[in-house]
Amino acid sequence: MFILVSGMYHNRCYNLGISERKCTEGPAFSGCRGAIQNGLLTAIVTDEEAAEIMEVLQQTQELSITVDLEEQTILCGNRTYKFSIDPVRRMRLLNGRDDIALTENYRDRISKLKASDQKARPWAIPKAET
């Protein structure tokens, strides 16, 4: 699992490669767009906190880090950091939902809309091929 800790102001992400225990810094994930779809959790902390987490992890390679998505906290060493995350992305991760699963939540509403549209615009429905 990879966790991106993003500074709030400089739009720079710090990649905490938890599975490989490598920490890198740089603009490779700048903006962190698409991170969730690529298996990356983006946890937004202040720039100072991101730098502090990176420093601690680089100094102590065997140090474990705990990320609690429900509480939105990062436990690193003896310090706990609160992080922010887009609420929709958080819900998606907590519930294991992708784009299709989110759309399926609206199946009843979509069916009702299609039925009312067919009544209102019968001419817009393609005719079945014979």
HSE toward the beta carbon, residue 50, CA cutoff 13 A: 25
pTM, 2 dp:
0.59
* Backbone CA torsion sign across 74, 75, 76, 78: positive
Greatest mean pLDDT range, 10-19, 25-34, 47-56, 76-85: 76-85
CA pair distance 2, 41, nearest whole angstrom: 7
Q: Which residue has the tokens 């906290």?
A: 73
Across 89-116, average pLDDT: 87
Question: What confidence score (pLDDT) does residue 110 get?
Answer: 94
DSSP-derived 3-state class of residue 67:
strand
Percent above pLDDT 70 for the chain:
68
- Contact in structure between 58 and 67 (CB atoms under 8 Å): no
Question: What confidence score (pLDDT) does residue 92 get?
Answer: 81
Across 15-24, average pLDDT: 43
Higher per-residue confidence, 50 vs 110: 110
Residue 38: pLDDT band by 50, 70, 90 thresholds?
A: low
CA pair distance 42, 15, nearest whole angstrom: 9
Those residues whose C-beta lies under 8 Å from the C-beta of residue 71, and which sit 6 or more positions away, are none
CA pair distance 92, 82, nearest whole angstrom: 19
Residues 59-98 pLDDT 10s: 887 888 888 889 999 999 889 999 988 888 888 888 877 7
Q: Where are the domains of the chain?
A: 2-85
Greatest mean pLDDT range, 10-14, 53-57, 85-89, 115-119: 115-119
